[in-house]
Amino acid sequence: MPLPQNLSFKSMKALSDEDARALSGLHMRCFIGSEVWSPDEFLSVSGDQVRWGVYAQDDQQNPLALIVMMDSGDDCEILTIGTHPQFRHMGIARYLLQFVEETAHERGAGRCLLEVAADNPAAIGLYVSEGFEQIGKRAAYYQRENGHPTDAIVLSKTIRYE
Ligand SMILES: CC(C)(COP(=O)(O)OP(=O)(O)OC[C@H]1O[C@@H](n2cnc3c(N)ncnc32)[C@H](O)[C@@H]1OP(=O)(O)O)[C@@H](O)C(=O)NCCC(=O)NCCS
């Protein structure tokens, strides 16, 4: 599916306070109560050397999707990724993933790693369709609000960007 035409993509470098608040608001919509990043966390990414991110916004400058990465030696890691619920299934997260893979390669990474909850089929479907493979499992890694522990699956993809 083609991406919505009014999207533009911005780096998380030099975020304003307003940008950081808007990204935190988007993160809250994506994760609904759990794992939500505060505006200060986005501002700290903005000033960091090893963490970096990209977000998609509409022509009113409302952020609709985001991804935050961390360089880790020869690897890079996806720290968080999310698309606003009203803009899912449009290929935006896939686009962000492919974009950061290219950037990670330029930053020297040979492999991309992430953890995903075993009960998150949308995210797992996205990663597997992008060539990620399971390399491990962390039992009872996530604690759900209802008290149920959920395993984390560790996925990896060798970056071969041409
Ligand atoms: C996971 C998430 C980022 C996907 O965002 P998105 O912009 O809707 O994803 P895309 O439209 O780019 O979808 C790409 C692929 O992901 C997979 N996918 C997306 N939603 C899916 C779903 N509900 N079930 C199964 N697979 C799904 C499909 O393989 C899809 O490819 P297709 O459209 O060709 O079938 C989004 O559902 C989200 O924000 N979830 C909440 C936050 C979250 O769980 N983040 C991941 C933490 S590890």
Q: Model-level pTM?
A: 0.95
Domain 8-158 has CATH 3.40.630.30: yes
Asked whether residue 33 carries a pLDDT value surpassing 70, the answer given is: no
CA 49, 161, 105: angle at the middle one, nearest 5?
10
Asked whether residue 61 carries a pLDDT value surpassing 70, the answer given is: yes
Neighbouring residues of 51: CB distance < 8 A, sequence distance ≥ 6: 44, 45, 68, 69, 70, 71, 79
Q: What is the mean pLDDT of residues 43-61?
A: 96
Alpha helices, DSSP H, located in 91-159: 92-106, 121-129
User: Which of 86, 88, 98, 154 is the pocket-test mutation for ligand 1 (most atoms within 8 Å of CB)?
Assistant: 88
Q: Whose CA is nearest to atom 17 of ligand 1?
A: 126
Q: How far apart are the first and last CA of the chain?
A: 23
Q: According to the model, what pLDDT value does residue 71 have?
A: 97
Kindly give the distance from the C-alpha atom of residue 104 to the centroid of ligand 1, in angstroms, as a whole number. Answer: 21
Asked whether residue 66 carries a pLDDT value surpassing 90, the answer given is: yes
Domain boundaries, the chain: 8-158
Kindly give the distance from the C-alpha atom of residue 13 to the centroid of ligand 1, in angstroms, as a whole number. Answer: 25
Q: What mean pLDDT value characterizes the chain?
A: 94
With pLDDT > 90 as the criterion, what percentage of the chain qualifies? 85
Q: According to the model, what pLDDT value does residue 145 have?
A: 75
Asked whether residue 56 carries a pLDDT value surpassing 70, the answer given is: yes
Question: In this structure, are residues 97 and 112 in contact, taking their beta carbons and an 8 Å threshold?
Answer: no
Asked whether residue 1 carries a pLDDT value surpassing 70, the answer given is: no
Q: According to the model, what pLDDT value does residue 161 have?
A: 66
Place of tokens 């909850």: 117
Q: What is the mean pLDDT of residues 100-108?
A: 94
